[in-house]
Amino acid sequence: MGVKTTVRLDVTKVLNALGELGAKLGQTVAVGIHAGLGLMVAHVTKTKLINANPPYLNRRTGTLIRSISASPRVAIRDRSVLGTFGSNLDYARMHEVGFVGRIARPAHTVPAHQVRAHSVRTHRVRPHSRTINGRTHQVKAHVVRGHVVTAHRVEAHQVRAHKANVRYRARHFLRDTVREKGADAARMIRRAIIHLTRTGKVPSS
């Protein structure tokens, strides 16, 4: 017949401790996701927006790199944690998702610079329009034959404000970063939660 006995334990202290941890859980997860977002920002600026990286964008002025940041806001919904990072620049979105259309080019000065000797490969140019000094010109489809450009100097000159037709292919430097570093960001959240359960304290950011 066997034997059974009833065990009654006072778990009041355990429940109270769990309640205290639960109150700190939101802050802990926020610390973890912010650490993960910081990792992604660093990954974008150090591996995507650099010179000699054909799949993405070369660094020129550094404006785009400086604009990449993480939002301080974090949302916790059901079984997911939401955080955002990216850039507030319009052209950052154009390069991330792709863009075909006309954009306004402000008046600016082109500084004097030296053009190095280089080769131009044979390639086909699609029909398009170009606006130069306020006048729009239609360019027909044509083939540019391969040729060599000798080194020469371009003198400083003014360019008027105008609209230009542009075609930017999607680079996905943000989307690819999430795919490549998402698991690392999730690990940072787990580390933050483990720290909370072991110490009872929210980890420092």
Taking the chain (205 residues) in consecutive chunks of 10 residues, what is each chunk's mean pLDDT? 51 66 83 91 88 69 88 79 89 88 88 91 83 72 91 92 85 90 90 88 84
So what's the pLDDT on residue 145?
92
**Strand partners for 122:** none
State CA 139 to chain mean position distance.
34
Confidence at residue 131, expressed as pLDDT on a 0 to 100 scale:
64
* Tokens 């660093």, located at residue: 42
Whole-number Å distance between alpha carbons of 65 and 44: 8
Q: CB of 104 within 8 A of CB of 163?
A: yes
| Long-range CB pairs of 63-72, under 8 A, 24+ apart, other chains included | 63/89, 64/89, 64/91, 64/92, 67/92, 68/41, 68/44, 69/41, 70/34, 70/37, 70/38, 70/40, 70/41, 71/37, 72/34
Length of the chain: 205
Residue type present at position 35: A
Question: What is the rounded CA–CA span in Å between residue 169 and residue 161?
Answer: 24
Closest CA to 149 of 122, 116, 125, 113: 116
pLDDT of residue 82: 85
Whole-prediction pTM value? 0.68
- Spatial contact of 147 and 119, defined as CB atoms under 8 Å apart: yes
Q: How far is CA 129 from CA 5, 139, 143, 180, in A?
A: 89, 6, 16, 39
How far is CA 2 from each of CA 5, 7, 155, rounded to the nearest angstrom? 10, 16, 100
CA dihedral 56, 62, 65, 69 (to 10 degrees): -160
**pLDDT for the residue numbered 22:** 76
Please report the pLDDT score of residue 6 as a whole number. 45
